[in-house]
Structure 1
Amino acid sequence: MGRFRSLQSRITALYSATFGLVMILVAIGIQFAIAHSAEDKVRSELNSSAEVINRIWSMRGQELESFARPLALDFGFREAVATDDDETIRTALRNIASRIDLPNAFVVKYDGRVVGMRPELDARYNGALWDELDSGWQSGALRLNGVTFQAVAAEIKAPALIGWLVLGRKLDTDEMQQLSALSAIPVSASIVRRSESGQWIYDATSHAITDKAVAGALLRMSASAVKHPEGIAERMDGKMVLVRPLGTFGGAATTGLLLDFSIADALAEYDLLRLTVLFAGALGLLLVAYASSRIARHIVRPISALEKATRLLAKGEWTTVPVASEDEIGALSSSFNAMSAGIAQREKRIRHMAYHDALTDLPNRLQLAEKFDELLGAIESTEGGLAVLCLDIDNFKIINDTLGHQVGDKLLKIAADRLRAAAAGHFVARTGGDEFCVLVVGPRVETAGELAAVLIDRLNQPMTIEGHLLKAGVSIGISRAPLDSMVADDLLKHADLAMYAAKAAGRGRYRFFTTDLDEEAQQRRAIEMALHDAIANGEFELYFQPLFDLKSNRFSAFEALIRWNRPGQGLVSPQDFIGVAEETGLIVPIGEWVLKEACRIAATWPADVSVAVNFSTVQFETPGLKNQVFQALATSGLAPSRLEIEITESLFLESSGQVLETLHSLKQVGARIALDDFGTGFSSLSYLRRFPFDKIKIDRSFIMELLKTREANAVVKAITDLAAALNMETTAEGVEDAEQVEALRAHGCTNVQGFLFSRPIPAGEVVALIQACATRYAA
């Protein structure tokens, strides 16, 4: 089957097989026609030969009869028969035999005695011969003394029947050959007779006829000898056979003529025609195969070109095929070229999309990774250098959330264009969100720093987007290869750490990676892993710091402060782990525990003492916060009005409008909302307008300067007056001496908090502190 895998070979084989099949059918038809024609011809010729032989037979019979009848009517001959004058009879018989060359002539007398030409031939015939003659037999084949003759019989009357004159011509092989020679075709003639056992045998040899078909035909001929004296002609085993009765007895043939002729001999004359047809068919097949191959090659050549081009296209190699015709193949080639061009364009587009950021059209992380491999490989071979600058736009989340994603996207596009222009000649990529990366090949440390300063200055330039005047700064972290690492992921991680350090240092600046940053990151990672264990093992506990009411001179509330009782290290301050908890999201389960535990403990305090719980921005971004508060209140039995929820301004800066909805729902339940660290943000007054807080907590930075500067004193006074006007309470944080308390009382501040009254204490000491305060001020 392998040789027919090609389309050309299959087309050639198909056409050749079709032609060959047609030629075979034609040959079969011709052969059938020849065979049928030959059979008809042989049958016709055989019948003609039989007719000729029959006429010769009849003529010879008539000849014998023409001699027999006059002799049988001759007076002298009849007198000799009647008077038993055997010598006269023999003389007459010899005379007539010599004239017509008869081998046998005799007289069968009425008494059954036979008188022949010679005395030694005389013999008494059996009764069957007499019965045959007596029944009217006059001519035919006659068996005498083991020899078959063509014989005729004439009655001898004087006037009554006194005998029969029988003249016989011997039927032997020579006679049959002479008769066969008279035929137009080389027919084989034989005398057959029925033996005494009823079996048909050849007369010349006395051999039985073993051919069942011939024997059957002889039986049918014998049975219908009277009705069909012309005989029966049939085809048998590749030859045509005719059997004809010669002698009958009792209406059945006893002797017959068997003529046969080989049909193969008849077909031999058509051998030339058959050879001609065979030769013409073979030649035609070769011509068809050659023509089919040429046609197939003409068809397949452009298809092969298309197939080859398709394989190249599958490998990603753009290619075209020549259009050599205007037929279907040419149209297919044109369509393929159009498809190939389209695929090439789409592949180019897809590859561009795969390697570029859709928004800014800068290279993306995938292309950055490949560029890293290329540049780091070059560094290894050339001992060059590489600086990685990771950039993050400052305050992007605030702009994106407050002004919308459309403004944020346009800001990113402008930032990308400025980076592309300022870092011309260097590889610039967007790595995600508001983060970008610049690769600088072979720089000195100073060069990387100089480029970072240029980028910071360029991105710090104001921009106007949809009517908003924006100033988006950028913080940059720098790592270097091979100084810091030769691994791309490590270089990016180091640059990120340096960038976060730059943000922590005040934003709008750059910082190089140092090993201590990595150590800090490792420490933060260790804290993160330890926090997981702390949550699982219950290593946290709450401390409480009181809030003193300046009007009633009592402790009106306690702020819940978490402590981590880390095994082997003792109590860990929130400043050391809360930041990590917020970055990793662990603040959510920690905050949930703080809320439930604070409510549970506060429920054991006097009914006029509240508990304040700080909530992180991350907690507000978690679905289900409202349900957590409801569940904590319901489980502990704490009145909602005794729960103060403290939030910072960063919650508004970094969150969406969903925050206001959550705060309103909590306030409707009855919980109090306090704004912590007021005065340190950028738009505090707008927050007070957007949400009616119950309390404002004045940041400790103002309290520390309260007695030292007029400005701080004026700010505190302004805040207290503003809160009073809005019907809000105020709490001053970080109070450490009595003079601060009096100044705050004079400004109308309602609550104070600080070390002056108490440091944070364990939950078990709260009740005692409340009682001590009540006793002190009661006196």
Structure 2
Amino acid sequence: MSSKDAIDERVRQTLVKTLYGQPSSMAIGAVCGIITNGAAAYVSRNAFLVAGAILLSIVAIGRVVAALYLRRPGHRRNARVLEIVYETGAFTYSALAGLMSAFAIWAKIDPAVQMLLLGNAIGYGVGISARNAGRPVIALGQLFLCLIPPILACFLSGNLALAMLGFGMLMLLPAMVEITLNVFQVLRRSISTAETSQKLADKMQQLARTDVVTGLANRAGLNHQMVERLMVVGSDRKLALFWMDLDRFKEVNDTLGHPVGDRVLTEIARRLQALELDDTTIARFGGDEFIVVTEVGSRKESEDVAQAILAAINRPIRIDADRLELGASMGIALMPDDGSDFDTLMQSADLALYDAKINGRNRATFFDGSMTRDLVRRKEIEAELRHAIQRDELSIFFQPIVDLETGRIRTFEALVRWFHPERGEMRPDEFIPVAEDTGLIITLGNWITQQAAKACAQWPEDVTIAVNLSPIQIRAPGAALGILAALREARLDPTRLELEVTESLFLEDSENTARFIEELSGHGVRFALDDFGTGYSSLAYIDKFPFKKIKVDRSFVSGKDVGRKSEAIIRAVAEMGNQLEMDIVAEGLETVEQVQAVKNAGCTLGQGYYFSRAVPDYLAAILLSNEHGETAAATATGS
């Protein structure tokens, strides 16, 4: 069937539905026809007209009754049957109206009766041709059945006036044919346009509910499908929600580019669909997160499903010449066990996912009520920290590291401070662990390095900046390139940047760490070993890596167990640093006695409240300015 024929068929079906959907117009026409023809029969007392009026009344009433019957709710209606019923009644009624008018003219019945019946035939034929124009065969068939008989009667009457009347009616036919066909074309175009608009609307709605990368449902699509799913879940079944977050996906995007990342997402979607779980909804919830919702009979069955999903995701992915191994963290929640509605179920699965991520990743965790309070707080901090970075709520403070011999500031350590608009100042030990657990430390660390480098670029060239690095930052792809880019943007000499790392860094990934340190050292960046003495201290690190500075942990300087042993340790470390031409920094100095003690022990640099707390950048600039003024004054006096 051609497109044109298909539209014509839908126009026909639309007309049929309209006819039977609104039988009131048919009833009004039936009443008018019965009254008109009944009056003509009564006035003329002609047997033929009386019989015709009775037959026409029967047909009119039958059509109304049929319309009312066939439009009843639940009645099985076939479009073709409805059309045949309508055509039979319409053609019979029109033929009766035309024949009765023709008979009145031919038999020279009372002129008033002729006028009454002819007016009824013309009015009905013209009116119905417009009303039924959506089905031209019906409209024109009724028109011709109503007018051809009286036209012929007029021509055969031998009366010139009636012949001219017949000629006028004859000229009416082509005019009404054209009008009917024009109305049909308008109706046809309207229906075609409406169908196109509906198809476009349906397509837009489908697109709005579909993820463009994977073809899976998106958030809107998931919510739409869940409304229907929740209505059909069996009372003996559970609805299991599996929420996955791909591990290391950001590394793929950063190192291989977003097109490769999209191909990875598409492959993961394909694998999830290939599991062919019964009655399952699969959605990409955004970024690298996927959600699978399916019915299970027990918790054990949901564990099996979780293992199948993780096994599918964990298989290596081959993208061109690259072999990628991702893995995923998964949170699982069951309805009704973990939530009586879908929103609560989502929250429970989200908390379970968060727990899986902060406890090692690449694992599946079921929701447990005990995790709610702590995890909710950590998630709040994570979300607020992301917003804080975007809204510039974070600040960099600088604590000086002082030369114990000259008292001059040699370095400032950059320390992040968060002044929450509602909670006030947030302690670093509140948000830094959350940032490290969630991987947000990478974004935060890059931001700290950028801000610190920009501040240092404004200071005297003999003053350096020290920035703490998390092991997670160093393991991130392109970490060294990010630091070098920050230096270029700030126009800061790489030799003025010191990166402080802790010993825990070398316990996990020494190969990547060595590559990271080697690359940056080659550009002149300096490295310091922070919190020395608190971990698994090993001289092998100091021998292997190009450290220029060792920071002795504050516990040896101002801790509760400070004594002869701690002093001996500091002295030993200082002696080692002296032999290796490394600076030794004593942290946590608060009193003049502590300063003198570490200086006597051989430490070259000191840091702590005795010299200064961490201060904003403008106060750091003032400290340097005052120091420069004192030096200039001393030089002038000496001269």
Q: TM-score, normalised by structure 1?
A: 0.45
- 1:535-557 C-alpha deviation (Å, 9 max, x unpaired): xxx9x9989696999x9999965
1:465 equivalenced with 2:465 (yes/no): no
Q: Is the partner of 2:132 in helix, strand or coil?
A: helix
Please report how far the alpha carbon of residue 298 of structure 1 lies from its aligned counterpart in structure 2 after TM superposition: 1.9
Partner of 2:339: 485
TM-aligned CA distance change 1:778 to 1:390, over 3 Å: closer
1:717 equivalenced with 2:571 (yes/no): no
Partner of 2:273: 420
1:391 equivalenced with 2:212 (yes/no): no
TM-aligned CA distance change 1:554 to 1:432, over 3 Å: same
TM-aligned CA distance change 1:463 to 1:581, over 3 Å: closer
Please report how far the alpha carbon of residue 774 of structure 1 lies from its aligned counterpart in structure 2 after TM superposition: 3.6
Partner of 1:297: 128
1:504 to 358, 367, 370: 358
Q: Provide the rounded CA distance (Å) in 2 between the counterparts of 1:486 and 1:340.
A: 41
TM-aligned CA distance change 1:407 to 1:487, over 3 Å: same
- Equivalent residues of 1:697, 1:731 under 8 A apart: yes
Alignment-mate amino acid for residue 509 of structure 1? R
1:646 equivalenced with 2:467 (yes/no): yes
1:617 equivalenced with 2:470 (yes/no): no
**Within-5 A mapping of 1:9-158:** none
Percent identity of paired positions between Structure 1 and Structure 2: 23
- Equivalent residues of 1:390, 1:495 under 8 A apart: yes
Alignment-mate amino acid for residue 696 of structure 1? F
Which one has the largest radius of gyration? 1
Partner of 1:475: 329
- 1:340-392 C-alpha deviation (Å, 9 max, x unpaired): 5544543442332232212111112223223333444445x715322211100
Q: Is the partner of 1:302 in helix, strand or coil?
A: coil
1:369 to 223, 243, 259: 223
Partner of 1:750: 582
Please report how far the alpha carbon of residue 496 of structure 1 lies from its aligned counterpart in structure 2 after TM superposition: 1.5
Q: Provide the rounded CA distance (Å) in 1 between the counterparts of 2:550 and 2:578.
A: 14
Partner of 1:695: 526
Alignment-mate amino acid for residue 257 of structure 2? G
- 1:660-686 C-alpha deviation (Å, 9 max, x unpaired): 433223352788323343655674425
1:438 equivalenced with 2:270 (yes/no): no
Q: Provide the rounded CA distance (Å) in 2 between the counterparts of 1:778 and 1:382.
A: 73
Q: Is the partner of 2:253 in helix, strand or coil?
A: helix
Q: Provide the rounded CA distance (Å) in 1 between the counterparts of 2:288 and 2:122.
A: 71
Partner of 1:578: 432
Alignment-mate amino acid for residue 673 of structure 1? L
Alignment-mate amino acid for residue 545 of structure 2? I
TM-aligned CA distance change 1:293 to 1:688, over 3 Å: farther
Please report how far the alpha carbon of residue 287 of structure 1 lies from its aligned counterpart in structure 2 after TM superposition: 2.6
- Equivalent residues of 1:554, 1:774 under 8 A apart: no
TM-aligned CA distance change 1:386 to 1:341, over 3 Å: same
Q: Provide the rounded CA distance (Å) in 2 between the counterparts of 1:519 and 1:466.
A: 45
Q: Is the partner of 1:472 in helix, strand or coil?
A: coil
Higher helix share: 2
- 1:138-179 C-alpha deviation (Å, 9 max, x unpaired): xxxxxxxxxxxxxxxxxxxxxxxxxxxxxxxxxxxxxxxxxx
- Equivalent residues of 2:570, 2:598 under 8 A apart: no
Q: Provide the rounded CA distance (Å) in 1 between the counterparts of 2:239 and 2:265.
A: 26
- Equivalent residues of 2:577, 2:584 under 8 A apart: no
Q: TM-score, normalised by structure 2?
A: 0.54
Please report how far the alpha carbon of residue 583 of structure 1 lies from its aligned counterpart in structure 2 after TM superposition: 9.9
Q: Provide the rounded CA distance (Å) in 2 between the counterparts of 1:334 and 1:456.
A: 54
Please report how far the alpha carbon of residue 476 of structure 1 lies from its aligned counterpart in structure 2 after TM superposition: 0.3
TM-aligned CA distance change 1:479 to 1:542, over 3 Å: same
Partner of 2:169: none
Partner of 2:66: none
Please report how far the alpha carbon of residue 475 of structure 1 lies from its aligned counterpart in structure 2 after TM superposition: 0.6
- 1:588-646 C-alpha deviation (Å, 9 max, x unpaired): xxxxxxxxxxxxxxxxxxxxxxxxxxx97337459x965x8757986xxx536424141
Q: Provide the rounded CA distance (Å) in 1 between the counterparts of 2:304 and 2:552.
A: 43
Partner of 2:369: 515
Q: Is the partner of 2:131 in helix, strand or coil?
A: helix
TM-aligned CA distance change 1:641 to 1:281, over 3 Å: farther
- Equivalent residues of 1:385, 1:482 under 8 A apart: yes
How many pairs does the alignment contain?
433
**Within-5 A mapping of 1:676-691:** 676-677=500-501, 679=506, 683-684=512-513, 685=515, 688-689=518-519
Higher strand share: 1
Partner of 1:204: none
Q: Is the partner of 1:477 in helix, strand or coil?
A: strand
TM-aligned CA distance change 1:632 to 1:545, over 3 Å: closer
TM-aligned CA distance change 1:475 to 1:662, over 3 Å: same
Q: Provide the rounded CA distance (Å) in 2 between the counterparts of 1:778 and 1:619.
A: 29
Alignment-mate amino acid for residue 291 of structure 1? I
Alignment-mate amino acid for residue 718 of structure 1? K
- Equivalent residues of 2:243, 2:349 under 8 A apart: yes
TM-aligned CA distance change 1:621 to 1:348, over 3 Å: farther
Q: Provide the rounded CA distance (Å) in 1 between the counterparts of 2:518 and 2:598.
A: 33
Q: Provide the rounded CA distance (Å) in 2 between the counterparts of 1:661 and 1:461.
A: 35
- 1:17-73 C-alpha deviation (Å, 9 max, x unpaired): xxxxxxxxxxxxxxxxxxxxxxxxxxxxxxxxxxxxxxxxxxxxxxxxxxxxxxxxx
Q: Is the partner of 2:467 in helix, strand or coil?
A: strand
Please report how far the alpha carbon of residue 407 of structure 1 lies from its aligned counterpart in structure 2 after TM superposition: 0.8
Q: Provide the rounded CA distance (Å) in 1 between the counterparts of 2:217 and 2:579.
A: 58
Q: Is the partner of 1:382 in helix, strand or coil?
A: coil
Q: Provide the rounded CA distance (Å) in 1 between the counterparts of 2:313 and 2:427.
A: 38
Q: Provide the rounded CA distance (Å) in 2 between the counterparts of 1:659 and 1:777.
A: 33
Q: Provide the rounded CA distance (Å) in 1 between the counterparts of 2:346 and 2:134.
A: 52
Partner of 1:272: none
Q: Provide the rounded CA distance (Å) in 2 between the counterparts of 1:769 and 1:758.
A: 10
Q: Is the partner of 1:516 in helix, strand or coil?
A: helix
Q: Provide the rounded CA distance (Å) in 1 between the counterparts of 2:597 and 2:437.
A: 40
Alignment-mate amino acid for residue 363 of structure 1? A
- Equivalent residues of 2:332, 2:365 under 8 A apart: yes
In the alignment, structure 1 segments of 5+ residues that lack a partner are 11-278, 306-324, 588-614, 708-712, 724-728
- Equivalent residues of 2:238, 2:336 under 8 A apart: yes
Q: Provide the rounded CA distance (Å) in 2 between the counterparts of 1:740 and 1:406.
A: 55
- Equivalent residues of 2:313, 2:328 under 8 A apart: yes
Partner of 2:262: 409
- Equivalent residues of 2:214, 2:266 under 8 A apart: yes
Q: Provide the rounded CA distance (Å) in 2 between the counterparts of 1:349 and 1:701.
A: 63
**Within-5 A mapping of 1:481-630:** 481-524=335-378, 557=411, 559=413, 574-579=428-433, 617-618=443-444, 620=446, 626=451
- Equivalent residues of 1:641, 1:671 under 8 A apart: no
Q: Provide the rounded CA distance (Å) in 1 between the counterparts of 2:401 and 2:600.
A: 16
Q: Provide the rounded CA distance (Å) in 1 between the counterparts of 2:256 and 2:578.
A: 41
Alignment-mate amino acid for residue 121 of structure 2? Y
TM-aligned CA distance change 1:776 to 1:582, over 3 Å: closer
- Root-mean-square deviation over aligned CA pairs: 5.6
2:487 to 638, 663, 681: 663
- Equivalent residues of 1:641, 1:670 under 8 A apart: no
TM-aligned CA distance change 1:689 to 1:431, over 3 Å: same
TM-aligned CA distance change 1:740 to 1:366, over 3 Å: farther
Please report how far the alpha carbon of residue 485 of structure 1 lies from its aligned counterpart in structure 2 after TM superposition: 1.4
Q: Provide the rounded CA distance (Å) in 2 between the counterparts of 1:714 and 1:584.
A: 31
Alignment-mate amino acid for residue 618 of structure 1? L
- Equivalent residues of 1:387, 1:481 under 8 A apart: yes
Q: Provide the rounded CA distance (Å) in 1 between the counterparts of 2:114 and 2:483.
A: 96
1:352 equivalenced with 2:206 (yes/no): yes
